[in-house]
Structure 1
Amino acid sequence: MVGVGGRSKACDECRRRRIKCDLSTPHCKRCLKAGLQCGGSRGLSILQYDGRSGRAVSSNTSSIAQAISSIAMGQDVHSSGASHLENMNPTAPWSIYRPQMPHEDIFITYTVSQLLEDGADVSSMPGTSGGLAKQCLVALSTTYFGIAHMEKEILRRGMSKYGKSLRTLNQRLGDQSASRTLDVLQSIMIMALFEYLISDLEAGWLQHSRGLERLLEIRGPESMASLPCLTILESVRPSIIFSALLLRQNTILASPNWKTLPWMNHPGRKDAMQLLIDILADCPELFVLRECLPAKSAQLERRSALHHLEEKANAILDSLHTWKQRKDILPWTEVPSPSSTPEILDSGGLSTPIWQTVYHFESLYQANIMSLYHGAVILVSRLCLGIQLELDENKCEEIRASINMAGLAICRSIDYHMERRGDDISSLFILFPLRMAFDAVGVDNVEIGSWLKAILQQIYSGSAGRWATARYLLDIQPLSNNPTPI
């Protein structure tokens, strides 16, 4: 993405330190000199690709650029970092039907069927109505179809369309009035899916999420009240919140206006999922406050700040527990554990499932919201545990039990997710709960940890979804046994 007029492009560290940033990429010289981790200029930037020369240029290096360049030049994709494309076969069965003319409708129909949740209206997919967003959707669909059917020629065609769309999008973003249009907002949302699908690094989707949030901030919450805009907002809120958590930044989505005004014309859409995301939007502030705690040398001041932080965290946990009591949160049933359940040796030396039953739900929607709920409980509870350990108070075992229970609840739901997912978007949704379950019970339990890694590998490889982000999910600021969440 390119710059949005009127906003500082300084990197986050220079902004925090209130010093002038030299805007160097990928890391500014002031941060390098100070030994700080620089995230690069805040100027919105989208990777640009020249499909004819195979030359990729980006202010934030991403393996998507390496993959695109390698494919365009006919190189081995494995060495580029996008190893889940390495087995692409130009003589795959689909090759006998290789289109001799553009078959955009085929590509779009296939991609939309995979990226929309069951029962969703096809017209709700951004880009189906035309404009630049339609160009971006064609680029995404052609690329996605090429990956799914292991067709290098179709994939190259998609990447070429991708580069052309990005150049046009950069021009639109450079125009202050054009950057505020729904068409541009939809285009960025579609382009963000490339990072989820192909990039092996977190920087890609993080940058897209940050850029989307800044464009939303410029537009304001009232501008998102139309149904097309609201649909986009509902789709991108989770990724914006998760990126804020990772980057230790506040998010505009925690504001009451951003939780209410976009839904003023469609209050019925504020369902249990959206209300849960409202609560999750308050979580990034907890970690911002934790980063700002007084030094341990200022003991009294620090203890006071810790108690204040604990109160805010407990308020969020109370909101989560209240949310769970809603009438539209349907109970699950328990069925015997399948053969894929991780096992341990019992006292007699026999292998036995770690959990004897797994959860089944009324629908995938119910499974999604409960997994997200338990993930949020783990996230906030681990913060509370860290506070308790420092304050040397006596609630640690109670909190540990809550974390363990929530982690096992996610694990016991995964079988249902993997069985019932009907599209790639379903497997994308459970990535955050999977990471939280790993932190809660997978770090200390080797069997569960290995099992969760295998699930993520399935999602990464395409056998259960097709999301490259799953590959590095457990490597994002990995947690040790001491409770310092994400």
Structure 2
Amino acid sequence: MVYRGKPSSACERCRTRRLKCDRGSPACTQCMRAKVDCPGYRNLVDLGFRDQSEEVIRKSQRLTRKHTVPSVTSTAASADDESGVPWPRRSPAYPMQELAKGYVFSNYMAGGPRGGHMPYLVPLINDPRNSAVNAALNAVGLAALSNIRLAPQMMLKARREYTTALSQTNHALKDSVMSTRDDILAAVVLLGMFEVMTCTDDLFIDRWMKHMEGAAKLIEFRGPEQLTRREGLDMFTQLRTQITVSKIYQEKYSSPIIAQLTEDAKQYRNPQDQIQDELGLLVIRLSNFCASLKNKSITEPSEILRTALTIDAELMSLFINVPHPWNYKTVKIPMFDGEPLTKAVWGDSYHVYHSLTASSIWNNYRSARIIIHELIIDTVNDLESSGYDENGRQQRSNLAGQSRQIAHQLVEDICASVPFHLGAGIEDSYEFEDSSPAARDVADLSTWDLWPELLPVTPSSLSSMESTGASFSSTSPLQNSFTICPTSPSSGSGWKSPSSPFEATGAGGVTLVWPLLIAANSGLASNDLRKWIVLCLDKIGHSMGINQALAMAQLLRKGMHSRAWLSPEQGSPSSDNQRKHSSVEV
């Protein structure tokens, strides 16, 4: 189809007179000045489609009459004559903005077997009045395509669109009414996403966190009314996760207003979807706990351990029996001579989820627990180095060893989600195992308050602390004692494997980079696993245009801790929490 130019959005009177129409509401200024009724505006989406059937038929008939003698110069020419339709001589040209929108739509907004990551953008970009969100959308799409195609000219256009979107968004934020609109918050989301696509230096994390601070203030200003709309609820949920990650890394307290909005959000969801808000509240508690450790409002080792174990237990209790849409399947990879047939999977299995949202929920849960068990290990190590309470040395050693094994398995489970995010297919011959845990007794968590200085580690408490999540590998010596997500062969569970391989999308990559960084930075990943994670981040960066993944991969290659990127004003970790990993050569 021939490109016929961008259709005018002006009213009919202004188009016929070639007047500049401001598309005002309820009438444009030109019609109001002329004191005539404004005929209104066309739907630009409908204008994008044109019926050219008659024109194609006429062209076909002309070509048929012209080529009365079959051409024998080439096979292609013969096929041309037989069909009556000429082969295209060159690819049609599309405006860069349309390519950008198409890329963002197919990679982040569209549904499909795994669901969309940003479906709330669909109704917002169709409104021509939402110029800020459309400019931000163009900026994100052009930036991603520029990174993928190594096209610097596209990046120049992306930065122009970014500047336009930023200016329009800042102008809207000065208006108390406009600043509460969904399209303005969506523009803020996309501006933050642009930073993810374009980061080229260590300061990108500061810029991203500043976007998150602005988004947090905007969410607070919008209030509970935003939760009553599907678009507002989806944006709040997505931003809350990013804001909380930012607060944990800065070791700052989370906003009590966002915590209250999280509590309010539950009434607008189906009961089976409320797990998102329950997890959000627990991660906010973890953020506040990290902030308390930094400002030394909690210093007693026993209190640190008790608080960490309590939050960890509540996380496990939440995920013991997850609703059906949130569970996953474990796919066993066929082995040959003791080695898996594919190197795209770490180990001999990977996970398949109902959606990217479900996978992200599980990885957020795993990331939170990794941070908790890192705190436990660090606290126990500090106690051992200071010679604290020699009588409890064995208990502390058991607790630290237990935390290492739990965190190690959580790291493995994050890696098991990578194939699903990056486009793994499922073969019918693969063996499926269910992630839904079997019914079991849960230890009474109130007994944790009885221990004087350290939680006693007993066989019963050991098994109860690992009652949800994902299973240990067959090589684990504590396979029977530590089962996070006990698996059982699926039989008639209603799970249907996709008939065709998944397609990798940008949404799969952008939701995976932070869990991978947390897993690699935990200090519980082997050097080989860190190399594998670096390769995954490289693939995300190069194939999906997400420069943040490339920056994270470089961080891991240098053996730096991710918090080393924080500038002094954002807050840097204390020396006892700063760890330097060995560099990774890939």
TM-score normalised per structure 1: 0.67
2:167 aligned partner: 167
- Answering whether residue 515 of structure 2 is matched by residue 433 of structure 1, we say yes
2:58 aligned partner: none
For 1:149 and 1:97, the matched residues in 2 are separated by: 18
1:370 aligned partner: 362
SS at match of 2:423: helix
1:114 aligned partner: 107
- Answering whether residue 238 of structure 2 is matched by residue 235 of structure 1, we say yes
Percent of aligned positions that are identical? 16
For 2:359 and 2:575, the matched residues in 1 are separated by: 28
SS at match of 2:332: strand
- Answering whether residue 330 of structure 2 is matched by residue 333 of structure 1, we say yes
1:243 is matched by which residue type in structure 2?
Answer: S
SS at match of 2:252: coil
- Seen in structure 2, the aligned counterparts of structure 1 residues 439 and 155 have a Cα distance that, compared at 3 Å, is closer
1:279 aligned partner: 282
Residue in structure 2 matching 1:321, options 307, 316, 335: 316
Shift of 1:179: 2.9
1:178 aligned partner: 178
2:351 aligned partner: 360
For 1:341 and 1:409, the matched residues in 2 are separated by: 15
1:265 aligned partner: 268
- Answering whether residue 547 of structure 2 is matched by residue 468 of structure 1, we say yes
Q: Where does 1:134-153 land on structure 2 (aligned, <5 Å)?
A: 134-153=134-153
Q: Where does 1:303-314 land on structure 2 (aligned, <5 Å)?
A: 303=300, 306-314=301-309
2:533 aligned partner: 452
1:302 is matched by which residue type in structure 2?
Answer: T
- Seen in structure 2, the aligned counterparts of structure 1 residues 334 and 279 have a Cα distance that, compared at 3 Å, is same
For 1:481 and 1:405, the matched residues in 2 are separated by: 27
Question: Is the contact made by 1:372 and 1:433 (CA closer than 8 Å) also made in structure 2?
Answer: yes
1:307 is matched by which residue type in structure 2?
Answer: S
Shift of 1:362: 4.2
2:536 is matched by which residue type in structure 1?
Answer: I
For 1:256 and 1:151, the matched residues in 2 are separated by: 43
Shift of 1:269: 7.6
2:534 is matched by which residue type in structure 1?
Answer: K
For 1:381 and 1:484, the matched residues in 2 are separated by: 15
Question: Is the contact made by 1:367 and 1:413 (CA closer than 8 Å) also made in structure 2?
Answer: yes
Q: Where does 1:21-420 land on structure 2 (aligned, <5 Å)?
A: 97-99=92-94, 102=95, 104-116=97-109, 118-119=111-112, 120=115, 124-125=120-121, 127-130=124-127, 131=130, 132-200=132-200, 201-252=204-255, 256-267=259-270, 270-293=273-296, 302-303=299-300, 306-328=301-323, 329-336=326-333, 337-340=340-343, 356-365=347-356, 366-392=358-384, 393=392, 394=396, 395-420=399-424
For 1:418 and 1:480, the matched residues in 2 are separated by: 35
SS at match of 1:333: strand
For 1:375 and 1:112, the matched residues in 2 are separated by: 29
Shift of 1:139: 3.6
Shift of 1:483: 6.3
For 1:193 and 1:174, the matched residues in 2 are separated by: 22
SS at match of 1:281: helix
1:275 is matched by which residue type in structure 2?
Answer: E
For 1:157 and 1:116, the matched residues in 2 are separated by: 22
- Seen in structure 2, the aligned counterparts of structure 1 residues 442 and 339 have a Cα distance that, compared at 3 Å, is farther
Decide which moves more: 284-293 or 386-395. Answer: 386-395
For 1:485 and 1:314, the matched residues in 2 are separated by: 22
Shift of 1:111: 1.5
1:312 is matched by which residue type in structure 2?
Answer: T
2:563 is matched by which residue type in structure 1?
Answer: Q
1:212 is matched by which residue type in structure 2?
Answer: A
For 1:115 and 1:410, the matched residues in 2 are separated by: 21
**Structure 1: where are the runs of 5+ without partners?**
1-94, 295-300, 343-354
- Seen in structure 2, the aligned counterparts of structure 1 residues 107 and 472 have a Cα distance that, compared at 3 Å, is closer
Shift of 1:285: 0.8
For 2:538 and 2:576, the matched residues in 1 are separated by: 26
SS at match of 1:325: coil
- Seen in structure 2, the aligned counterparts of structure 1 residues 411 and 183 have a Cα distance that, compared at 3 Å, is closer
SS at match of 2:422: helix
1:408 is matched by which residue type in structure 2?
Answer: E
1:21 aligned partner: none
- Seen in structure 2, the aligned counterparts of structure 1 residues 323 and 135 have a Cα distance that, compared at 3 Å, is same
Q: Deviations over 1:387-406 (max 9, x none)?
A: 22334452211111211221
Question: Is the contact made by 2:266 and 2:277 (CA closer than 8 Å) also made in structure 1?
Answer: no
For 2:142 and 2:239, the matched residues in 1 are separated by: 22
- Seen in structure 2, the aligned counterparts of structure 1 residues 334 and 105 have a Cα distance that, compared at 3 Å, is closer
For 1:224 and 1:156, the matched residues in 2 are separated by: 37
For 1:270 and 1:423, the matched residues in 2 are separated by: 24
**Structure 2: where are the runs of 5+ without partners?**
1-89, 334-339, 385-391, 425-502, 565-572, 581-586
Question: Is the contact made by 1:263 and 1:269 (CA closer than 8 Å) also made in structure 2?
Answer: no
1:134 is matched by which residue type in structure 2?
Answer: N
- Seen in structure 2, the aligned counterparts of structure 1 residues 360 and 338 have a Cα distance that, compared at 3 Å, is farther
- Seen in structure 2, the aligned counterparts of structure 1 residues 482 and 417 have a Cα distance that, compared at 3 Å, is farther
SS at match of 2:268: coil
- Seen in structure 2, the aligned counterparts of structure 1 residues 383 and 401 have a Cα distance that, compared at 3 Å, is same
Question: Is the contact made by 2:140 and 2:194 (CA closer than 8 Å) also made in structure 1?
Answer: yes
Q: Deviations over 1:73-124 (max 9, x none)?
A: xxxxxxxxxxxxxxxxxxxxxx95443xx46444313311111364357862
